[in-house]
Amino acid sequence: MKNRHRISASRVVRQTLIYLLLIILAIIFLVPFYVMLRNALSTKAEVTSLDWVWFPKELQWQNFAEVFEDGSIFPQGLLNSAVISVIQIVLQLAISAAAGYGLARVPYRRRNLVFAAFLATMMVPTAVTFVPSFAVVSALGWVSTLAGIIVPGIFSVFSVFLFRQFFLDFPDELEEAGRLDGLGPWGVFFRIVLPNAKGITVALGAIGFINSWNAFLWPLVVGQDEHSWTVQVALSSYLNSYSVDFPVLFAAAVTSIIPLVILFFIFQRHIVEGVKMSGMK
């Protein structure tokens, strides 16, 4: 009996420490969001004051109104980011799923060599391909257009790799049943394989959407006209060498992360599954 009580007591202590650690980590991760919201609802004097206050005395909701006032480029940036992210992810998933299925299921010579070549491209730093990619986009006349931002990002070796790994474990019996019912290769792929790959598709789609929404350097270089700016580039326009309107800047930052927060809460289970499948613990 004493040993049982001792084991149960140690288990309670261990669980308490684990929950305490999780609470501390959650607070640490939530602090930046709190600071953003606090500054977005403050005056400029409160933001720059050396005397810290946990929350402003009067909530300055007009800071959010200024983000969307006439003449602001930020709403156009939000729209551009939404269009770019959606189109990019739809095309990326379509190409990656087809490529991953071909590498996993279509029998042909040197298939492993082709896959190794795919993986080798992941070793090439982005900085190496940045200038050649811009030269191609410029030659096509896509500078300051949404196409110039979208097209270079529609292929993802990472997504192809995960789709291939998923399709390698896909049951052969389901595909054989489809062929017996008279389906061709594309019919098997679209009517049997893809519907059963919904989990990995949603996971990669959510992760890819977040990456596309947060992209800054490539949209900054290609989107040289303010009408092609994304939300991240539009955010940087609030910073200049003369003055910085911190409350409006933080209000715009809070607005920019709202779609990502909503997306995360809707697809959080699939995002976690995608991270697990990628091997990142």
What confidence score (pLDDT) does residue 87 get? 94
Buried b (16+ CB within 10 A) or exposed e, 8-31: eeeeeeeeeeeeeeeeeeeeeeee
Tens-digit pLDDT profile for residues 3-48: 555 556 677 778 888 889 989 988 888 888 888 888 888 888 777 7
CATH number of the domain where residue 117 is located: 1.10.3720.10
The count of domains in the chain is 2
- Are 19 and 105 part of one and the same domain? no
Instruction: Give pLDDT, residue 9.
Output: 67
Range of the structural domain that residue 239 is part of: 73-277
Residues 251 and 125 in one domain: yes
| pLDDT bracket for residue 92 (50, 70, 90) | very high
pLDDT tens sequence across 53-77: 788 878 888 888 888 886 778 889 8
Please check whether residues 122 and 231 belong to one and the same domain: yes
Average pLDDT of every residue of the chain: 83
Q: Does 198 share its domain with 143?
A: yes
pLDDT confidence band for 281 (50 / 70 / 90) = very low
186 domain residue, yes or no: yes
Domain assignment present for residue 271? The answer is: yes
Q: Looking at the domain assignment, is residue 216 inside a domain?
A: yes
In a domain, residue 67? The reply is: no
Do residues 26 and 147 share a domain? no
Cα of 270 vs its chain's centroid, Å: 13
Q: pLDDT tens digit string along 223-260?
A: 888 888 899 898 888 777 577 778 888 888 888 888 88
Q: Is residue 53 part of a domain?
A: no
pLDDT at site 93? 92
Burial string for 170-193 (b: 16+ CB within 10 Å, else e) reads beeeebeebeeeebeeeebbeebb
Average pLDDT (173-192) is: 81
